[in-house]
Amino acid sequence: MRPLQPEQPLTQALTGFSEIAGKFDLCLCDIWGVVHNGVAAHREAVEALAAMRRQGMAVVLVTNAPRPRQAILTQLAQLAVPDEAFDAVVTSGDVCRALIEQRSGEPMYMLGPDRDLPLIAGLDAPRVASAQARYVLCTGFFDDERETVDTYAELLDDFARRGLILICANPDLVVDRGGKIVPCAGSLALAYEQLGGQVIYAGKPHRPIYEMALELAQVKRGGPIARERVCAIGDAIRTDIAGANAFNATSVMVLAGIHAQDLVAQSWAERHDWFSRQTHRPDYAIPHLVW
C-alpha cells in the first residue's frame, strides 16, 4: 500500500451525518445509490434526510436521471419516500430540456429507450432517423440489460464523422439497479468523446445542475445560502464527488453505492489508499447515509 501524499488530507470517516449536520444549511443529495437502488428505498437514508430538514437544513435531491422532475417525484412516491424527506428535486432531464429548447426545430436523433420520451414532451424537437439528424440526444441504451458500448460503435463513428453534437442527458457511466450494475448514457458519451465527438453534458459533475439546485433551495429558504454551508452527498467519484468539489461544496461519499465492491469490505486504511488513487477525493465518507 503506497502512502498518501502529505498535501492530500485524509477523508474523514463518519458513522452518522448528525456528526457534521450543524455545519450546513443545504444538502444536495444524490438519489440513485443513496436514497434508493432503483427497486427499494433505503429507509435509514430517508430518515436521515427528514432529520436534516427538522434541524433546519434544506434538502434538494439532485439526480442524473434523464427525465423531468415530475417523473422522479412519481418514482419516489412509488418507493414510499415521503415529501418530508426533501424540499425539491432537480434532474439532469430538467437541464437537458433547456439545452434542447436552445435547438428548437432542429431535427434530432434520440438514442435511448422509450421510457425517456417524457424528456422531450412539449418541446419542438422533431425526431428523425440517424442519417437525417442535426444533433443527437443520448439518454441511455435501448436495452441496458443486454447491450454494451460496442453495440453502438458503428453508429457513434458515423455521428463523429459528421461532426454532430451529442447531448448527454445522464453523465453516469453505470448505475446499481437492484444489485446489478447496468450501463448509462455517460458510457456512450465517453466513447463518443474518444472518437473525437463533441459532447454537452446536462448533469453532474457539471455546474448547471448545481446552480439550478442552489437557486431552488434559496427560494425555499427565502434568502441566500453561503457556499461554505452547502454539502453534497453521493456515491460516485466521477460525478457526485467531482461535481461537489468543483462547486466548492463539502463532499460526502456513501460507500455502499456503485463503488461498493472496492470499498464496503475494506478497512479505513485501505479505503484511504483507494481514495488517494482517484481523480477526486471526498471530504467525508460514510458506509450508508444514516443520521
Distances (CA, A) of 215 to 21, 34, 102: 21, 22, 21
Instruction: Report the amino acid identity of residue 61.
Output: L
Cα 210 to Cα 247: distance, rounded to the nearest angstrom: 7
Kindly state the DSSP code that residue 132 receives in the 8-state scheme.
G
DSSP 3-state of 3: coil
Cell, residue 79: 418507493
284-286 and 198-201 beta bridge pairing = unpaired
pLDDT for the residue numbered 51: 98
pLDDT for the residue numbered 157: 98
pLDDT for the residue numbered 176: 78
pLDDT for the residue numbered 180: 83
pLDDT for the residue numbered 2: 39
Q: What is the tally of helices (H) and strands (E) in the chain?
A: 9, 13
End-to-end CA distance of the chain: 32
Question: In what helix (H) or strand (E) does residue 90 lie, and over which residues does it extend?
Answer: strand 88-91
Sheet holding 88-91, edge to edge: 12-13, 284-286, 250-254, 230-234, 26-29, 58-63, 88-91
pLDDT along the chain (291 residues), means of 10: 54 96 98 92 97 97 90 95 96 92 97 93 96 97 94 98 96 83 93 97 91 94 94 94 96 89 87 90 96 98
